[in-house]
Amino acid sequence: MKIETVRGGLCAVKGVRAYGTKEGHNGLALIEGKGQAVGMYTASKIKAAPVLFTKRQLEGSGGQIQAIIANSGCANSFTGEQGTRNAEKMAELAATSLGTNEEEIEVASTGPIGKQLDMELIERQLGDVVTELTAEAAGSTTAAKAILTTDTFYKERAIRIDTGDEERVVIGGIAKGSGMIYPHLATATATMLSFIYTDARLSEEILRASFEDDVANSFNMVVVDGDMSTNDLVLLVSTGQGGAISEGDFKEGLNLVCKELAKLIARDGEGATKFIEARVKGAASVADAKEAAKSIVRSPLVKSAIFGERPDYMCGRIIAAIGSCATVSDVDPGRISIGLKGEDKDKDKVSAVKNGEFMDLSGVARELMRDKEIFIEVDLGLGESEATAWGCDLSYDYVKINSG
């Protein structure tokens, strides 16, 4: 199997057209692509109207989808019965514009919570967008830009998989997310949105199994600020217009796309000056490794120390973050080791803690902390399991952005 990055995002996938528009804070994206869809939704006890609507739509249609309509500038969350009617109206408008079945239209929204959608604006923007739908790369890019809120750049990725028997499969996606990022995406239950399409010919069972596993190891491992949104939503759609592929090969490709999009969200955290990757190995279980890794990138104290470029403060706070994990098995302090690397991958890892003892953190360690990318490796010394989480530092600008 050969995997290569290609241009076009969503529109690199056979059977997909897209376009988007943006007016100030208010954007609208439309993605057209008929196929089988699976979704994962925020685990928040207060789900936004579009999340509940889309979950209901997919259940009612047996996972069949025609298009996705997504707006930015208003989350349509905590909006009562009117919010539900507005989500339904968005689907109706999209179906009418495309001349298709509204039962197979999915809806997503992102923006401030507690205000109603401007349906006149959405209807007008949709009229502009539907006439520009295209399978060219610009369609994916404009859609990715349309759903941004506090994001500073648009996020899209696409890969082509050559299975070696003249069969080719493309997986492409877009995402948005900058603040209120601590996704707990589940099958039953400022925002993280992602729409991923593939032309692979796959059964619904394989599509869902691959999706659940890959989301668990990508989007669910990103932490910007530790606040879960009411609107988190990820959809995976297969148009079935490409080649055949094994479950293992597809899962590997999907995992690559999901992780790349997840890392872009972490890099674009509100006010971020540094990207953080925390890998925890030597854990007694994968669940322990995941919880410890997320605890590190979630800690305001760890994030602040990285912003302040203080490795001495950071390592002590990493220890505290691991110790505070309620679900992690007992930890032996004398077995813990912490290594640090900067953005220069060719440089050796700096040993910050070795078998429970702090090393000299002056000189090289301080210099490393000036980098824009910080890689933390923690060895718990208890087992063979590991996991990786991604996040960003906590700067003054995060407070400025979120104070109004």
Q: Are strands 155-162 and 373-379 parallel, antiparallel or unpaired?
A: unpaired
Residue 367: both structure tokens together: 């210099």
Cα separation values, 302 from 175, 208, 226, 311, Å = 26, 35, 13, 9
User: For residue 134, what is the DSSP state?
Assistant: B
Radius of gyration of the chain (CA): 21
Which of 388, 394, 385, 392 is CA-nearest to residue 278?
A: 388
C-alpha to C-alpha distance for 278 and 293, rounded to whole angstroms: 6
Here the tokens at position 229 are 């949104």
CA dist., res. 170 & res. 135, Å (int)? 14
Tokens at residue 91, please?
């689907």
State the Cα–Cα distance between residues 189 and 208, nearest whole angstrom.
15
Residues 279 and 221: beta-carbon distance below 8 Å: no
HSE-up (13 A, CA, CB side) for residue 325: 25
Give alpha helix (H) positions in 268-385: 286-298, 300-307, 311-323, 364-368
Whether 5 is catalytic: no
Catalytic residue among 187, 239, 273, 388: 187
Give which of 72, 84, 63, 2 is closest to 30, Cα–Cα.
72
| 137 Cα distance to chain centroid | 21
Contact 361, 375 (CB under 8 A): no
Distance separating alpha carbons of residues 176 and 193, to the nearest angstrom: 5
344 touches 371 (CB < 8 A): yes
- Report how far residue 185's alpha carbon sits from residue 212's, in angstroms, rounded to the nearest whole number: 9
**Cβ atoms 157, 144 nearer than 8 A:** no
Catalytic residues: 187
